[in-house]
Amino acid sequence: MTFYVGFRSSRAASTTQDFLVARRTVRSRRNAAAVSGEYLSAASFLGVAGLILKDGVDALWYPIGFTAGYLALMLFVAAPLRRSGAYTLPDFVEARLGSGGLRKLATFFVIFIGVLYLLPQLQAAGLVLSRIMPVPQWVGPVIVIVVVVVNVFGGGMRAITVVQAFQYWLKLFAIAVPTFILCAIFIGRGGAGAHETSLTAPTSPTFTDTTTVRVDTPVRLRIKEPVWLWADGVVNGAPASGDVFWRPEVGEVTVNAGTTLRFSAGSAVPVVAGAAADNDSWMRPSSGGAGDLFTTYSLIFATFLGTMGLPHVLVRFYTNPDGKAARRTTLHIMLLLALFYMFPLLLGALSRIYVPELLVTGRTDAAVTELPAKIIPGLPGEILGAVTAAGAFAAFLSTSSGLVVSVSGVLSTDVLRGRVRDFRWAALMAGLVPLGMALVLRPNDISLSIGVTFALAASTFCPVLLLGIWWRKLTWVGAGAGMIVGGGLVIGAIVLDVVSRYTGDWAPSFVKQPALITVPIAFFVVYIVSKATHRRQPADTSRTLLRMHAPDPLGFIRDRDVARFGTAEERARLADGRHRR
């Protein structure tokens, strides 16, 4: 279906403006659906329910932050950014501050953020496909990249806009229908039965029947209640084969990859270290003390401010006809996102009751796809599972499409010569490089990976956008210093976290969510350096700010470097509005 919609839409795409900004004629409702389709990634479709299953109410901040970020975008950035006439974020940076060097720095961060955001999408695609079909995990990422690159290759932004708008409604259907059915069955049964642990019980969740779990990656399990089990593999560094008893006094046990564990029905579920071990702590916010509180505030900071720095989100606002349409698009997006996020929360809570075995391996991202078959055994459950899997694949495709388009646009205009042929070559590169990295690197919790990407966007582009639009004294030196310091700190945290995960998980918690430290530092550096270099302020600052803030009917909007991207004939076609229908 994605192929067909992309093929139908790509037939009308022929110019560079089609490929970069869909001729700037996309109406607000269609653009809102496209942005929502692009924004609701694997982190939203799979990761949010998985985090609710594992962390409980602390994870509620993810969907709240993901949605609330658009409020800041609507109030401060959307309309002025569209009125600037830019085609890409580097375009905006150069237009506002007049520095080619700063443009190159922005290009680097756009590509880096795009690749970093794309990795969890591809890894999640491998996870889902390997669970529903007998194929290795590398098949999923390969399929996603092939579909995305072919669509982008054929029609660029113009084709992807229609594809992503369609995929939002597909994802909403794929998660809403199973949720309604599963909730109806749960309520019809009168809640959790005799074999399940209700969420109001303060004890640990229990296995609903005899369950065998295979550990694919090494895990540390937290033991809250005594449990008998059968183990075959390596536990706490020693071989184990037969019955084992884990007491609460041991605190944690380490289970090596390749170990098989079998639990009897009614046994308490040991959970991966860091997860809520019992339902009492699962229901209470910040039960882990000051460390959890810092992580929560840092997450709020990252998601609220990071949205306005995501290149693949911002690039969609360049497709609106004017600033008013860009702001209206943002309002529609918040409504669509709020509607969608109700459903992963319910599925996460049900997963805590019916698929607690996912807490043993930490692969909680599989909760959405495995829950239907557990509540409704047989063919109906498999059909619902197939529907959610289709929605998950739509999430991978739509987000990956937006990321490949945004990275391709920057590569084609800033690294290559900006022609249609260059855009297509850039799309190929933007797909193959992340694919290679996704096949090599170890998968992590999807939403946690996305959280770091938001922190990077908030620490680099957020200060430049906010101060560039609303503070006339910003200089290119200050903007560059802020991007380097903020981005460097987040990249350093990412490197530390990756090294830590491969060498015993010794890194402190703020490394996993560094935004609360890095974003204020980035703003401070931009302000101080700009004040110190006030003589570098561009001479046309007043004219640029007037263009960004003047009402649309005054006609100050002017596309940047139109001559570079289109002939007079193409500009005439731009005004015909055919793409609106």
The tokens for 349 are: 């809570």
pLDDT, tens digit, 9 for 90 and up, residues 91-143: 888 888 888 889 889 989 888 888 888 888 887 777 777 777 777 878 888 88
574 vs 301: CA distance, rounded Å: 39
Residue 481: predicted pLDDT: 95
Q: Other C-beta atoms within 10 Å of 290: how many?
A: 9
CA-only gyration radius of the chain, Å: 24
Instruction: Report H helices in 474-549.
Output: 476-502, 515-532, 541-549
Residue 183: predicted pLDDT: 92
Write phi, then psi, for 389 (nearest 5 degrees).
-65, -40
3 vs 234: CA distance, rounded Å: 46
390 vs 234: CA distance, rounded Å: 36
In the predicted model, what is the mean pLDDT of residues 427-443? 80
DSSP 514: -
pLDDT, tens digit, 9 for 90 and up, residues 246-303: 888 878 888 888 888 898 888 888 888 778 888 888 888 766 666 677 888 888 888 8
Answer for the pair 263, 247: CB distance below 8 angstroms, yes or no: no
- How do 252-255 and 219-222 pair as beta strands? antiparallel
49 vs 68: CA distance, rounded Å: 18
Q: Which residue has the tokens 């460097």?
A: 488
The tokens for 76 are: 């401060």
Amino acid making up residue 319: T
pLDDT over 60 (residue 564): no
Greater model confidence, 442 or 361: 361
Answer for the pair 111, 411: CB distance below 8 angstroms, yes or no: yes
Q: Flag the least confident range among 57-61, 372-376, 550-554.
A: 550-554
> What is the pTM (predicted TM-score) of this model?
0.82
- Banded model confidence at residue 478, pLDDT cuts 50, 70, 90: very high
Class of residue 395 by CB neighbours under 10 A (exposed 0-12, middle 13-18, buried 19+): buried
Residue 581: predicted pLDDT: 35
Residue 163: predicted pLDDT: 80
Output the DSSP codes for 29-80: HHHHHHHHHHHS-HIIIIIHHHHHHHHGGGGGHHHHHHHHHHHHIIIIIHHH
575 vs 553: CA distance, rounded Å: 16
In the predicted model, what is the mean pLDDT of residues 182-208? 80
Percent of the chain having pLDDT more than 90?
15
Residue 487 makes CB contacts below 8 A (sequence gap 6+) with 109, 112, 456, 459, 460
Beta bridge partners of 220: 254
Answer for the pair 455, 302: CB distance below 8 angstroms, yes or no: yes
Residue 575: predicted pLDDT: 44
Residue 480: predicted pLDDT: 94
Q: Flag the least confident range among 239-253, 421-435, 559-573.
A: 559-573
pLDDT, tens digit, 9 for 90 and up, residues 33-71: 888 888 887 778 888 888 888 888 888 888 888 888 888
Residue 318: predicted pLDDT: 78
3-state secondary structure 298-345: HHHHHHHHHHHHCHHHHHHHCCCCCHHHHHHHHHHHHHHHHHHHHHHH
Residue 526: predicted pLDDT: 95
Going from the C-alpha of 135 to that of each of 128, 149, 383, 396, the distances in angstroms are 10, 22, 20, 18
Q: Flag the least confident range among 69-73, 566-570, 576-580.
A: 576-580
Q: Other C-beta atoms within 10 Å of 572: how many?
A: 10
Answer for the pair 499, 467: CB distance below 8 angstroms, yes or no: no
283 vs 281: CA distance, rounded Å: 5
- Banded model confidence at residue 518, pLDDT cuts 50, 70, 90: very high
- Banded model confidence at residue 179, pLDDT cuts 50, 70, 90: very high
In the predicted model, what is the mean pLDDT of residues 18-38? 78
Residue 483: predicted pLDDT: 94
